[in-house]
Amino acid sequence: HADFGGEVERVLGMADGALVLIDAAEGPMPQTRFVLSKALECGLRPIVVINKIDRPDARINEVVNEAFELLMELGGDAHLDDFPHIFASAKEGYATHDPNVRTDSIHPLLDMVLKEIPGPDVEPDEPLQMLVTTLDWSEFVGRIAIGRIQAGTVRQGQTVEVLKAHEIEEAKINAVHVFHKLGRTEVKEATAGDVVALVGIDDIDIGDTVCAKEQRRPLPRVTVDEPTLEMIFSINSSPFAGREGKYVTTRQLRERLHRELEKNVALRVRQAEGSDAYAVSGRGVLHLSVLIETMRREGYELSVAKPHVILREVDGVVHEPFETLTVEVPTDNLGPVMEIVGNRRGTLDEMQTRGDFTIVRFTIPARGLIGIRTRMLNATQGTAVIHHRFQGYKPREGDMPRRANGVMISNVTGRAVGFALDGLQERAEMFVAPGDDVYEGMIVGENARENDLTVNPTREKK
């Protein structure tokens, strides 16, 4: 997803090749195009895997041609001389070079990876050099630095230097883990080309270079996108507080948010002024929504205010964040995309047509992106592929269109009744079902018209 686009690109930097998994019946999906284009930009060698060849409706030869055309459209001409591809059925557990000949294992796929994917471009005989690409966190060992070793060897107990943005720190490697199958395995040492997780460097961030002591060769820094959106988190203060969760106090909320900072490096948390609430900043609505849902499943009860963009003042002028919005959509569905972005003060920068698809790039205020994904997918029957990247701060644009629909607000406390909801749902989309508890002031539905309505969802038939 676009909110995590930076993470995807950083992880691609640790790879040497890519398996392009395509359904033998459905063919290349719209979302495949963006990720594959990024993989090609990173210089990765693609292998196309046509999966589910055992489906009754499989279109094997057609899908191979569609994959070939997709690579051509994305500028993968350098890879088209031999176009490595293989057929597979993950359900049955086999891969084959001929879809009419079934094998008994996935060894043909693994052999193709060994043959087609080049080895890592590293320097095993040079001093240690590793770029930190991502971070993990453990309650037992703290922050864990993850990246691929570009040069040399790293050993357990080794003293290294961490080249940060503006300073150099010395640290000791307490443990070295390599990735094996779906987990990690602790080893005594790892060499150039290995993707490793280093334990023992507490003060380390994405983009730092870990190198041998007194052998300072910094690698080009990768960046973490700055937060552009903020939401206020506070404890649940509704009349139904404490009914569902087990963590309901401000102290528990504060501890959980600060614990999240250890591994979620794109997140920012500060105490809101004059209250026990916390302002949580992130890359976008989905970025923060994932945190909210994770906390809910862990048993936290919290109230969340509507998102708003982070503003800055430059030379007395209010600036707001702008983003570059890229939309790839079938040309037939281009009209709704232009209308939606235009209504949110987006301006067209570039338009390219590739086959049946059109790629359009806009400059748009970050607040214009709130809710745009759902509207755009609905307007294009789910075919639009959307990606946005932070561009910079510019003078604030004018106001955005307000919501077109009002809400229905309960004027009583009680339990929703089917008879009352039947009458209300003709004029609104209801958020509650018969038997749900409601309280006075609770939003229970979205009105079909612009005005807000106070209603009684507990009214019974007389």
pLDDT digits (tens, 9 = 90+) for 94-132: 999 998 889 999 999 999 999 989 888 888 889 999 999
Q: Indicate if the pLDDT at residue 223 is higher than 80.
A: no
Is 401 within a domain? no
pLDDT of residue 95: 93
Residues 24 and 102 in one domain: yes
Whole-number percent of the chain with pLDDT over 70: 95
pLDDT single digits (tens) 179-218: 988 889 999 999 999 999 999 988 888 888 999 987 788 8
Residues 92 and 166 in one domain: no
Residues 440 and 377 in one domain: no
pLDDT of residue 395: 92
What is the average pLDDT across 34-52?
Answer: 85
What is the average pLDDT across 324-350?
Answer: 90
Is 2 within a domain? no
Residue 302 belongs to a domain with what CATH number? 3.30.70.870
Q: CB count, 10 Å around CB of 393?
A: 19
Residues 49 and 110 in one domain: yes
Residue 383 belongs to a domain with what CATH number? 3.30.70.240
The residues that bridge with 48 in the sheet, in sequence order, are: 20, 85
Query: Domain boundary residue among 116, 148, 176?
Result: 116
pLDDT of residue 73: 79
Query: Domain boundary residue among 184, 212, 240?
Result: 212
What is the average pLDDT across 264-284?
Answer: 85
Contact between residue 213 and residue 173 where contact means Cβ atoms under 8 Å apart:
no
Residues 154 and 203 in one domain: yes
Residues 34 and 110 in one domain: yes
Q: Indicate if the pLDDT at residue 242 is higher than 80.
A: no
Query: Domain boundary residue among 116, 143, 160?
Result: 116
By mean pLDDT, which of 32-41, 320-329, 368-377 is the weakest?
Answer: 32-41
From CA 104, how far away is CA 276, in angstroms rounded?
61
From CA 229, how far away is CA 284, in angstroms rounded?
6
Burial letters for 127-162: b for 16+ Cβ neighbours within 10 Å, e otherwise? ebbbbbbbbbeeeeebbbbbbbbbbbbbebebebbb
Selected residue with higher pLDDT from 293 and 9: 293
What is the distance, to the nearest Å, from the Cα of residue 453 to the centroid of all Cα atoms in its chain?
Answer: 37
Residue 107 belongs to a domain with what CATH number? 3.40.50.300
Residues 419 and 390 in one domain: no
Is 315 within a domain? no
Q: Where are the beta strands (DSSP E) in 24-158?
A: 45-51, 85-89, 94-96, 129-131, 134-138, 142-151, 153-155
Residues 21 and 112 in one domain: yes
Among 36, 14, 22, 20, smallest CA distance to 134 is for 14
Contact between residue 219 and residue 191 where contact means Cβ atoms under 8 Å apart:
no
Side chain identity, residue 457:
P
Q: Indicate if the pLDDT at residue 406 is higher than 80.
A: yes
- Mean pLDDT is highest, among 199-208, 222-231, 236-245, 331-340, for 331-340
Q: Indicate if the pLDDT at residue 71 is higher than 90.
A: no
Residue 446 belongs to a domain with what CATH number? 2.40.50.250
Is 54 within a domain? yes
Contact between residue 54 and residue 157 where contact means Cβ atoms under 8 Å apart:
no
Is 340 within a domain? yes
Q: Indicate if the pLDDT at residue 4 is higher than 80.
A: no
Residues 134 and 199 in one domain: yes
The number of folded domains in the chain is 5
pLDDT of residue 31: 66
By mean pLDDT, which of 41-45, 55-59, 278-282 is the weakest?
Answer: 41-45
Average pLDDT score over the chain: 86
Is 222 within a domain? no
Residues 297 and 345 in one domain: no
Q: Indicate if the pLDDT at residue 11 is higher than 90.
A: no
Residue 141 belongs to a domain with what CATH number? 2.40.30.10
Is 4 within a domain? no
Residues 70 and 92 in one domain: yes
Q: Indicate if the pLDDT at residue 1 is higher than 70.
A: no
Residues 33 and 83 in one domain: yes
Is 124 within a domain? no
State the residue range of the domain holding 344.
321-394
